[in-house]
């Protein structure tokens, strides 16, 4: 007999915002019997002006905690679930849960408890609607008393529990410590729950259902109708996400990556679309030269000059110490013979400028320090860059032709990314030039 296949499907808040979406979710789940473990978020926005249930819960709890009127808000939250039940022709069976939640709010159960109720209630509702078993994440997703997620214990408890259940709904975003106190991941954390469930059941695939048809190759606010990324590696995802391309919670990658489980981003509103697959390895025939382009504005460069810097052992160590002393993580560190430059977020520098200058002067006795502000970083990511000739030529020619002055160049040592620093004002123009030259102009089959 062949091995059984398991898919874990996580549905985001916009995929469960109302009854019509619940119906779409059921169709998706029922279309494939391998979708055995389902992880829901709390109901999200039904329209751009709408509110997320999680936000309402945080707000309601704050009001209750400070003795201010909160009942209207609680009613609004209850209405969201009632409406879903009514429109699905289900009896509203969460009345007693709301009673318990209100009592806990008045006893100051904590903001994390409050926020988690969005997923808890939605999980119960979805389990009843699908006819799946409901597993309270508080029983199986373990946190320490300090609120830190405990991955190995969770994997054990979750694995044990789910091995006994053919099909189950496990609400996302929260878990509990051994004393039963609820803890949550950071916002968007249902993605993380989906990934840890996929790891615990050794799923063949982690499907992440959302309201977009996958990752786009560039920001649609800058490039109109950019192409979709069909497939990318975990490494490439990390590079792009770091530079601002977000669809998935950062922490969702680790549990699945270690087991070699791929993530498939899909659109609940367009299940026929192919989405984006994120996996460990891409077959050479599927590799494209450029996977994605992303970037962010508002960085600053601190340039330090000192004669014969290159012959002083330990100079870099002291430089890094200056940043460590001030608890700053930097982005890039290009260097010359007698100069070195550290690039960091401008926001961070604004708060710590005096302190970092003091540390640099004391530790390095430099000849000169200069600060250059308002720099944007643009990163081009692609595993295929390693094997295609002429990428750098197109890259820099396109920027020159667009009159962009490049202030910094850094090619990652793994050759899957190339980052440039440009003026904030040149940010959009750089991305447009790069997208045109590297994505729209076809590549000949010129492999090295
Ligand atoms: N409901 C939570 C939030 O809004 C978690 C999630 O949706 O993943 O952040």
CA of 374 to the centre of ligand 1 (A): 33
Q: Which single residue is written with the structure tokens 């409901």?
A: 134
CA of 387 to the centre of ligand 1 (A): 40
Instruction: Tell me the best of 10, 114, 189 to mutate to test the pocket of ligand 1, counting ligand atoms within 8 Å of each CB and taking the most.
Output: 189
Helix (H, G, I), strand (E, B) or coil at 248: coil
Question: Exposure pattern of 35-74 as b/e (b: 16+ CB <10 Å)?
Answer: bbbbbbbbbbebeeeebbbbebbbbbbebbbeeeebeebb
Please check if 11 is assigned to a binding site: yes
pLDDT at residue 445, as a whole number: 54
- Residue whose Cα lies nearest atom 5 of ligand 1: it is 188
* DSSP-assigned letter for residue 250: G
- Residue whose Cα lies nearest atom 8 of ligand 1: it is 188
> Whose CA is closest to 355, among 323, 319, 329?
323
CA of 83 to the centre of ligand 1 (A): 20
pLDDT at residue 3, as a whole number: 63
Which residues lie below 8 Å from residue 67, measured CB to CB, with a gap of 6+? none
- Residue whose Cα lies nearest atom 2 of ligand 1: it is 188
Give the residues surrounding ligand 1 with Cβ less than 6 Å away: 13, 41-42, 52, 54, 118, 172-173, 187-191
CA-based max dimension of the chain = 78
Query: How is 327-355 classified by DSSP, letter by letter?
Result: T---SB--B-SSEEEEEEEHHHHHHHHHH
Upper half-sphere CA count for residue 290 (Cβ side, 13 Å): 27
Instruction: Tell me the best of 12, 14, 41, 193 to mutate to test the pocket of ligand 1, counting ligand atoms within 8 Å of each CB and taking the most.
Output: 41
> Whose CA is closest to 339, among 377, 301, 375, 374?
301
Strand pairing of 205-210 and 262-267? parallel
Please check if 18 is assigned to a binding site: no
Please check if 10 is assigned to a binding site: yes
User: Can you tell me which atom of ligand 1 is nearest the CA of 191?
Assistant: 8
CA of 277 to the centre of ligand 1 (A): 22
Please check if 268 is assigned to a binding site: no
pLDDT at residue 195, as a whole number: 98
CA of 192 to the centre of ligand 1 (A): 10
Q: CA-to-CA distance for 184 and 124, rounded, in angstroms?
A: 18
User: Can you tell me which atom of ligand 1 is nearest the CA of 185?
Assistant: 5
* DSSP-assigned letter for residue 446: -
CA distances from 318 to 309, 341, 368 (A): 12, 14, 16
Residue pLDDT tens, the chain, 448 long? 456 799 999 999 999 999 999 999 999 999 999 999 999 999 999 999 999 999 999 999 999 999 999 999 999 999 999 999 999 999 999 999 999 999 999 999 999 999 999 999 999 999 999 999 999 999 999 999 999 999 999 999 999 999 999 999 999 999 999 999 999 999 999 999 999 999 999 999 999 999 999 999 999 999 999 999 999 999 999 889 888 778 899 899 999 999 999 999 999 999 999 999 999 999 888 888 899 999 999 999 999 999 988 888 899 999 999 999 999 998 889 888 899 999 999 999 999 999 999 999 999 999 999 999 999 999 999 987 877 888 889 999 999 999 999 999 988 777 789 999 999 999 999 999 999 999 999 887 554 4
pLDDT at residue 26, as a whole number: 98
Please check if 180 is assigned to a binding site: no
CA of 115 to the centre of ligand 1 (A): 9
CA of 64 to the centre of ligand 1 (A): 21
């Amino acid at each position: 007999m062949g091995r059984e296949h398991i898919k874990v499907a996580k549905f985001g808040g916009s995929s469960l915002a109302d009854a019509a979406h619940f119906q779409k979710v059921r169709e998706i789940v029922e279309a494939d019997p391998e979708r055995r473990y389902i992880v829901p978020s709390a109901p999200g926005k039904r329209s751009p002006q709408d509110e997320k249930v999680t936000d309402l819960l945080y707000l309601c709890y704050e009001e209750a905690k400070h003795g201010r009127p909160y009942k209207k808000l609680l009613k609004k939250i209850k209405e969201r679930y009632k409406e879903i039940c009514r429109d699905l022709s289900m009896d509203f069976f969460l009345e007693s849960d709301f009673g318990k939640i209100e009592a806990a709010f008045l006893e100051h159960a904590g903001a994390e408890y409050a926020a988690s109720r969005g997923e808890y209630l939605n999980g119960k509702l979805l389990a009843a609607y699908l006819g799946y078993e409901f597993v309270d994440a508080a029983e199986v997703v373990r946190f320490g008393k300090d609120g830190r997620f405990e991955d190995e214990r969770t994997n054990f408890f979750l694995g044990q529990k789910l091995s006994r259940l053919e099909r189950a709904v496990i609400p996302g975003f929260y878990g509990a410590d051994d004393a039963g106190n609820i803890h949550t991941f950071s916002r968007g954390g249902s993605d993380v729950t989906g990934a840890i469930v996929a790891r615990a059941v050794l799923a063949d695939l982690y499907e992440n259902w959302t309201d977009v048809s996958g990752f786009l190759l560039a920001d649609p606010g800058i490039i109109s109708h950019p192409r979709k990324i069909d497939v990318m590696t975990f490494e490439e995802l990390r590079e792009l996400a770091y530079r601002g391309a977000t669809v998935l919670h950062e922490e969702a990658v680790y549990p699945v990556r270690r087991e070699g489980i791929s993530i498939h981003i899909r659109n609940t509103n367009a299940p026929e679309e192919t989405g984006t697959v994120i996996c460990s390895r891409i077959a050479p025939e599927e590799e494209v030269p450029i996977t994605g382009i992303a970037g962010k504005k508002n960085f600053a460069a601190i340039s330090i000059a000192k004669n014969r810097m290159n012959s002083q052992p330990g100079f870099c160590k002291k430089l890094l110490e200056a940043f460590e002393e001030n608890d700053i993580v930097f982005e890039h560190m290009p260097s010359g013979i007698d100069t070195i430059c550290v690039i960091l977020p401008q926001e961070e520098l604004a708060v710590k400028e005096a302190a970092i200058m003091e540390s640099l002067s004391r530790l390095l006795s430099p000849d000169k320090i200069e600060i250059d502000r308002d720099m944007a970083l643009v990163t081009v990511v692609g595993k295929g860059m390693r094997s295609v000739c002429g990428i750098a030529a197109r890259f820099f020619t396109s920027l020159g032709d667009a009159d962009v002055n490049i202030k910094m160049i850094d090619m990652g040592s793994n050759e899957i990314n190339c980052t440039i620093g440009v003026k904030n004002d040149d940010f959009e123009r750089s991305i447009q030039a790069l997208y045109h030259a590297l994505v729209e102009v076809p590549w000949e089959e010129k492999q090295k």
